[in-house]
């Protein structure tokens, strides 16, 4: 349900969730890391995607492997489900390599270009799973997580459940002076449902602003999902709007 007015309010049920980062692939591992943070690799390394045919698996970049690693465990036994795929920056390492090739006068790789577009991952997963359900790709500098959740809840008006995947990589060194980014590859996948799961509320928040950057939203969400916070706020002092998420 979505209520639009003086106070914007969104209600939904979270059927299941999974998160993926280097060395963190289970709820228990995430909870322990959130309680006792330590340095994680800024590179994903080898990731097994046995559910995907080998020929297609080669097309998954590091960003794709990270997002697929979060989403695929939730999709076991599900043949068809619409999806929302959200990334703040997209596959910047791949995009930068294409731009550098152009600057050096090299011909554009059709495969590289097709994998660099923002909806490439959703297309690859659709092909791998033979799922022709509708998908939406989102990019947002501010409030990426609330934007993805609101889009998924909107789709719930016509669908019994929706997959929502939010993912990003550290920016290449060239871009780091101009924007913050996650310190390591990270993806969070959630299945939102009309009927099944725990109830959550997402509502506009007018409380004191925070000076943290947007890259911290991933850990903020995971602290809530792991029961380490009773409510969390997305957005910072630089954003025009902030959102509070809490169990219902």
pLDDT of residue 228: 96
Does pLDDT of 3 surpass 50?
Answer: no
| Average pLDDT of span 151-175 | 95
Q: How far is CA 201 from the centre of its chain?
A: 19
Closest C-alpha to 83, from 118, 131, 35, 22: 131
pLDDT of residue 148: 96
The CA-CA-CA angle for residues 65, 137, 117, to 5°, reads 65
Per the CB < 8 A criterion, the answer to whether 146 and 167 are in contact is no
Span 115-138, pLDDT tens digits: 999 999 999 999 999 999 999 999
Does pLDDT of 44 surpass 80?
Answer: no
- Residue with tokens 């459940």, as numbered in its chain: 161
Percentage, residues of the chain above pLDDT 70? 90
pTM score > 0.85 for this model?
yes
The pLDDT confidence band at residue 50, using thresholds 50, 70 and 90, is confident
* Residue 125 dihedral angles phi and psi, to the nearest 5°: -65, -35
pLDDT of residue 230: 95
Rounded alpha-carbon distances, angstroms, from residue 154 to 83, 87, 147, 166: 12, 18, 11, 16
Span 222-248, pLDDT tens digits: 999 999 999 999 976 565 678 999 999
Span 104-117, pLDDT tens digits: 999 988 889 999 99
**Paired residues of 205 in beta bridges:** 242
The pLDDT confidence band at residue 5, using thresholds 50, 70 and 90, is very low
Domains of the chain, each with CATH number or no CATH? 17-197 (3.40.47.10)
Distance of alpha carbon 97 from alpha carbon 217, whole angstroms = 27
H helices present in the chain, as ranges: 27-35, 54-57, 62-71, 92-103, 110-116, 120-129, 144-155, 217-225
- Exposed, middle or buried by CB within 10 Å (0-12, 13-18, 19+), for 33? middle
């Amino acid at each position: 349900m979505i209520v639009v007015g003086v106070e914007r309010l969104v209600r939904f049920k979270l059927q299941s969730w999974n998160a993926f980062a280097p060395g963190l692939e289970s709820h228990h591992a995430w909870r322990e890391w959130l309680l006792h943070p330590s340095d994680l690799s800024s590179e994903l390394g080898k990731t097994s995607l046995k559910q995907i045919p080998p020929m297609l698996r080669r097309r998954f970049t590091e960003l794709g492997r990270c997002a697929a690693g979060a989403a695929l465990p939730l999709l076991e036994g599900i043949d068809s489900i619409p999806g929302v795929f959200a990334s703040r920056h997209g596959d910047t390492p791949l995009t930068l390599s294409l731009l550098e090739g152009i600057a050096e006068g090299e011909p554009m790789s059709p495969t590289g270009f097709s994998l660099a577009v923002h909806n490439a991952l959703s297309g690859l997963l659709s092909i791998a799973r033979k799922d022709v359900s509708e998908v939406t790709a989102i990019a947002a500098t501010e409030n990426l997580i609330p934007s993805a959740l609101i889009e998924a809840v909107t789709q719930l008006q016509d669908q019994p459940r929706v997959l929502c995947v939010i993912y990003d990589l550290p920016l290449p060194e060239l871009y780091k002076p101009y924007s913050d980014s996650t310190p390591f590859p990270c993806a969070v996948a959630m299945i939102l449902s009309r009927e099944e799961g725990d109830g959550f509320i997402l509502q506009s928040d007018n409380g004191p602003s925070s000076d943290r950057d947007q890259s911290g939203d991933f850990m903020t969400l995971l602290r809530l999902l792991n029961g380490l916070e009773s409510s969390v706020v997305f957005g910072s002092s630089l954003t025009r709007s902030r959102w509070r998420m809490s169990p219902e």
